Each structure stands twice: as structure tokens, then as C-alpha cells.
Amino acid sequence: MIDRYVCEVLPHKRPSMVYGQEHQLRWWKSQRGTQLLADVTPSVIVEYRNKLVREKSNSTANRYLAVLSHAFRFLSDEERERLLISCQQSRNPYLYITVILALSTGARRGE
């Protein structure tokens, strides 16, 4: 996930943002790079957030979490297409439009 994000998303960001975010993503990769995405639970993220807060300022730790969050929310075109097809096939009549809205606005789970 991190490699794909670095290759596909970072090149389209402002150069001033790329260096810091690439550094932050390398840190995440060095910590959990071999773990399956399904195994990255909220408790795992809290564990590493606590580690970051011990080593860095709160605002820096928040930036590390923000770039990881954005990498998790990134879908390739193929993944987005499969997701939308699955939503259209769902028995829930509101699922497709809800996912379209979430993808279009960057909404989070709780929103």
C-alpha cells in the first residue's frame, strides 16, 4: 500500500509536501511494512501513535497519522470500480449512493 501510494499519489503533490510525507511513509513501512493490511487494527495504530508521541511532538505524530490515513483511503481505479460494482449489486438500496458520496467528499467512516 505504501509503495503504491508513493509511486501513484506523491508525484502529484506539491514538491514541498513530498519530502516530508515520503519520510513519514518510510517510517511506517520500516515499522509495519511486512504486515497485512487486514492486521492493521486500531489498537496497532494506537500503539505506534504512542511510540511516535514519545519520540516526536504531538503535531509531528499527527502528521505521521494523517499521511497513513490518506494512504489507507487511496483506492486504485480498479479497486474503486470493483467496490462500486459490489455496491450496485447489494440488496441495500442506499449503499451505492452512500459510497459515491463518501468517495467524492473524502468522508470518514463516522461521517
| AA letter at 77 | D
pLDDT tens, position by position, 25-84: 999 999 987 888 778 888 889 999 999 999 999 999 999 999 998 888 877 788 889 889
pLDDT band, residue 97 (cuts 50/70/90): very high
Q: How far apart, in Å, are the Cα atoms of 59 and each of 10, 62, 72, 103? A: 21, 5, 20, 27
Written as nine digits, the cell of 12 is 502529484
Whole-model pTM above 0.85?
no
| Residue 33: per-residue pLDDT | 77
Domain borders along the chain are: 2-73, 75-111
| Of 72, 108, 3, nearest in space to 11 by CA | 3
| Residue 78: per-residue pLDDT | 86
